[in-house]
Amino acid sequence: MPWTQSVGGVRHHFADLRTLLARASPQRSGDELAGIAARSAEERVAAQMALADLPLKTFLDDFAIPCEDDEVSRLIAEQHDAAAFAIVSHLTVGEFRDWLLSEQASGEILARLAPGLTPEMAAAVSKIMRLQDLIAVAAKIRVITRFRTTIGLPGRLSTRLQPNHPSDDPAAIAASIIDGLLLESGDAVIGINPASDSVETVVNLLRLIEKLRLHLRIPVQSCVLAHITTQMEALRRGAPVDLLFQSIAGTEAANASFGVNLALLGEAHDAARELHRGEIGDNVMYFETGQGSALSADAHHGVDQQTCEARAYAVARQFRPMLVNTVVGFIGPEYLYDGKQIARAGLEDHFCGKLLGLPMGCDVCYTNHAEADQDDMDSLLTLLGAAGVNYIMGVPGADDIMLNYQSTSFHDALYLRALLGLRPAPEFEQWFEQNRRELPRAMSLLAASA
């Protein structure tokens, strides 16, 4: 269905819903690369005006990608809870933005609304929200998950300890884990990106974390972020699997390029839950996403990268994940050009994820060919802290020597906690307080024997 909007006597024409969404997207290089971005600043605002007048209900009939072409669209249709939607079903996208900011839209109400919203509704409203809107609304929503620690409680900020090494050297990885624990990092997960995707590597690294965890009696969960089929094979071989990880995207074709589909993810979810390793909860999945992944796989169907990203959250929420984070600046400047585009994308993703009921974290990061530096990371980190992000990354000195990009450091998390009065997950905090004096000695011994 085509849409038009008149601005100052000029009629702007948008051929269909996905074109309208793309033209209304705040500027980013990935949509320009795809040839779907607004062709002028005025056209962008005209599209935002047309979008603001669109009834939310439109998204229940007109999918950005037709159901017959895409299993993610079918999942979105199946997930939709009409009763939960009732409270906002009469609103336009613009009225929805105003309502989200109102006192009526409390955290409790927003949590009940989540199953009634589709990813396209979340994406649409985010496109007409300023950064302060994205922060203010997200800050009202708490999404709490549990395995051995509780993540997402008010007043808490957790970290994924990311101790990667280019040759998966166990002693080097142990040294980075120890460094992170000493700086109160790791309460969301100790998660290693392996350089090798072999089952043996996954098994060995999971055993390494397990040994540390049991020796030091740390309340924490582990994950080795190989392909999910590799992790499932490790699980079948008896490796101590806590969380299962997978990168996911918002279209069936993009997920196929990652070598996954909904059935496979469902199988993995069942397998991890059957282990019953969670001590205080059974959220067992860990997903990463990021704007641009569908376009880079040539699997975006003409849909803008931020809407594709929100659609990935429909996939994520199907499996009650422990952790979900966007890896916002990893993909490079052809998708998010500079610090400004990365910051906006990070806050959009956090907002859309929370609005759809996900325990959102963020890998605040950049590559060396993007127009960004540590100052940009500090800005986004601080804004996400204000928005109530569940967790950020903890990488030694912010320099990931395996993936060759810059993320946030253990020190960055300490800064943010101190600045905003936030604390680690309660179980982890208690362990740290009880063991902090013994820690350096116990750890030196371990490092020496690793």
Partner 1 sequence: MKDLRRFTAARVGLGRAGNSLPIREVLDFGLAHARARDAVHFPLDVPGLRAECEAAGWSTVCLESAARDRAEYLRRPDLGRRLSEASKAILAPIHGPFDVAFAIADGLSALAVHHHALAVLRELRPMLDGSWNAAWNRAPLALVRFGRVAAGDEIGFALGASMVVVLIGERPGLSTPDSLGIYLTWEPRSGRRDAERNCISNVHGGGLSARDAARLLGVLMTESRARRISGIGLKAPALS
Which CB atom, from 38 or from 443, has the smaller least distance to partner 1? 443
CB of 264 to partner 1, least distance (A): 21
> 74: closest CA among 355, 311, 289, 294?
311
* In contact, 75 and 248? CB cutoff 8 Å: no
Distances (CA, A) of 333 to 39, 177, 300, 342, 392: 19, 31, 18, 9, 21
Whole-number minimum distance, CB 417 to partner 1, in Å? 8
Minimum gap (Å) between residue 179 Cβ and partner 1: 4
Identify which of 28, 15, 21, 5 has the alpha carbon closest to the alpha carbon of residue 334: 28
The contacts of residue 103 (CB under 8 Å, 6+ apart) are none
Distance CA 94, CA 55 (A): 9
Cα-atom radius of gyration of the chain, to the nearest Å?
21
* Residue 410 CB, nearest approach to partner 1 (Å): 9
What end-to-end distance do the CA atoms of the chain give, in Å? 63
Sequence-ordered list of residues with C-beta below 8 angstroms from that of 38, at least 6 positions apart, any chain: 22, 23, 24, 25, 27, 44, 47
Q: Given the DSSP bridges, would you call strands 391-394 and 3-7 parallel, antiparallel or unpaired? A: unpaired
Question: At closest approach, how far in Å is the CB of 27 from partner 1?
Answer: 11
Q: Which of 66, 440 has the CB closer to partner 1?
A: 440
> Closest approach of Cβ 164 to partner 1, in Å?
8
Using DSSP, state whether 190 is helix, strand or coil.
strand
Q: Which is nearer to partner 1, 120 or 400 (CB)?
A: 400
Shortest CB 399 distance to partner 1, Å? 5
- Residue 77 has phi, psi (to 5 degrees) of -65, -45
Interacting residue ranges for partner 1, rule: CB under 8 A: 29, 32-33, 163-165, 169, 171-176, 178-179, 182, 332-334, 337, 367-369, 373-374, 396-399, 401, 404, 406, 409, 411, 414-415, 417-418, 440, 443-444, 447, 450
Beta strands in 29-122 (DSSP E): none
244/223 Cα distance (integer angstroms): 7
| Nearest approach, Cβ of residue 349 and partner 1 (Å) | 21
- In terms of Cβ atoms closer than 10 Å to its own Cβ (0-12, 13-18, 19+), residue 103 is exposed
